[in-house]
């Protein structure tokens, strides 16, 4: 029986595979092939807007490289030569592989053999001519950039024109504690951002929520502007977005989308200090 894959369906197991999952992305305008290293739903952070079911603290489990290779080859073949688009009733305008995204149910750089996994995915995707025609993206909270295996992985990633999307929801220690439930300091965040941007093209992904008091939210936005002004980090783009789907964390009921006019004002403030900014309001 055929299933329908829509732009609102982000289920990680829709294709019945362990590591590889398809998402039809309205933002990207086509198929995004996700790779999930955190099959145990473990992350070293606990963002209050996180949509991972049964999220636990921890790191990615050991990778079954043979299975990852089998799944990726099988899945790409299904898309490139098989009936994937028909089977999942993907609208014609979305029948194009836009990106391969290392993005899972937790922090992907916590995988012990992160560099080996990046190399394997890049080699298969290149051999099957998906790279460099599609984008190669790593979605990360950036907290483990100081680790040698992560840096080794990013060097390989850069050889395949990989792009890092680095999470920066707050530019203060208090804000990061509240929003990401992380003790990661701002000083450390800046250091890690510098490491990422030195090794790969890096963009910031920033989730804006209606959660803090008006005064705290204003203080957060000012701190963010100051951070970007005072630190000479090469940032390709700042991507502002708000809640796309309901959080699966206990704070869910307290969270609301931030007003789009506020997002646009903030975007203009960042543009005024020289950054390229995109705003996604849905």
Instruction: Decide: 135 and 201 in contact? Cβ < 8 Å.
Output: no
- Beta carbon nearer to ligand SF4, 47 or 131: 47
Residue 191 contacts by C-beta under 8 Å, 6 or more apart in sequence?
Answer: 145, 146
Binding of residue 110 to ligand SF4 (CB under 6 A): no
In the complex with ligand SF4, which residue's Cβ is closer, 56 or 67? 56
Nearest distance from residue 169's CB to ligand SF4, in Å? 9
Select the residue interacting with ligand SF4 from 28, 33, 35, 52 (CB under 6 A).
52
Regarding 10 and contact with ligand SF4 (CB under 6 A), the answer is: no
State which residue, 46 or 112, has the beta carbon closest to ligand SF4: 46
Q: Is position 206 an interface residue for ligand SF4 (rule: CB under 6 A)?
A: no
Contact stretch for ligand SF4 (CB under 6 A) within 45-53, 122-130, 228-236, 260-268: 45-53
Cα distances (angstroms) measured from residue 280 to each of 2, 10, 15, 101, 112:
31, 17, 27, 18, 33
- Asked, as a colleague might, if the bond just before 236 is cis with ω within 30 of 0, I would say no
CA terminus-to-terminus distance, the chain: 31
Instruction: Give counts: helices (H), strands (E), the chain.
Output: 8, 12
Choices 40-48, 67-75, 214-222, 271-279; region in contact with ligand SF4 by CB under 6 A: 40-48
3-state secondary structure 167-187: ECCCCCHHHHHHHHCCCCCHH
Nearer to ligand SF4, 21 or 45 (CB): 45
Interface ranges with ligand SF4 (CB under 6 A): 43, 45-47, 50, 52, 106-107, 141
């Amino acid at each position: 029986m055929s299933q329908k894959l829509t732009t609102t369906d982000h289920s990680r197991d829709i294709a019945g595979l362990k590591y590889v999952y398809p998402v039809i992305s309205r933002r990207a305008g086509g198929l995004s092939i996700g790779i999930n290293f955190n099959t145990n739903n473990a992350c070293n952070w606990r963002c209050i807007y996180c949509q991972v079911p049964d999220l636990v603290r921890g790191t990615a489990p050991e990778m079954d490289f043979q299975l990852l290779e089998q799944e990726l080859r099988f899945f790409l073949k299904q898309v490139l030569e098989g009936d994937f688009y028909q089977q999942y009733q993907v609208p014609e305008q979305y029948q194009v592989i836009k990106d391969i995204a290392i993005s899972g149910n937790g922090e992907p750089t916590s995988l012990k053999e992160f560099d080996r996994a990046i190399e394997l995915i890049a080699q298969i995707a290149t051999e099957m001519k998906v790279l460099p025609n599609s984008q190669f993206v790593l979605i990360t909270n950036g907290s483990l950039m100081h680790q040698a295996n992560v840096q080794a992985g990013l060097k390989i990633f850069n050889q395949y024109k990989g792009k890092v999307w680095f999470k920066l929801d707050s530019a203060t220690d208090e804000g990061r504690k509240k929003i990401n439930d992380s003790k990661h300091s701002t000083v450390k965040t800046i250091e890690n951002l510098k490491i990422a941007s030195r090794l790969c093209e890096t963009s910031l992904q920033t989730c804006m929520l209606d959660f803090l008091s008006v005064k705290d939210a204003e203080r957060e936005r000012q701190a963010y502007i100051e951070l970007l002004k005072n630190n000479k980090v090469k940032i390709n783009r700042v991507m502002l977005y708000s809640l796309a789907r309901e959080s699966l964390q206990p704070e869910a009921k307290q969270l609301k989308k931030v007003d789009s006019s506020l997002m646009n004002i903030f975007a203009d403030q960042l543009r005024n200090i020289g950054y390229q900014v995109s705003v996604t309001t849905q």
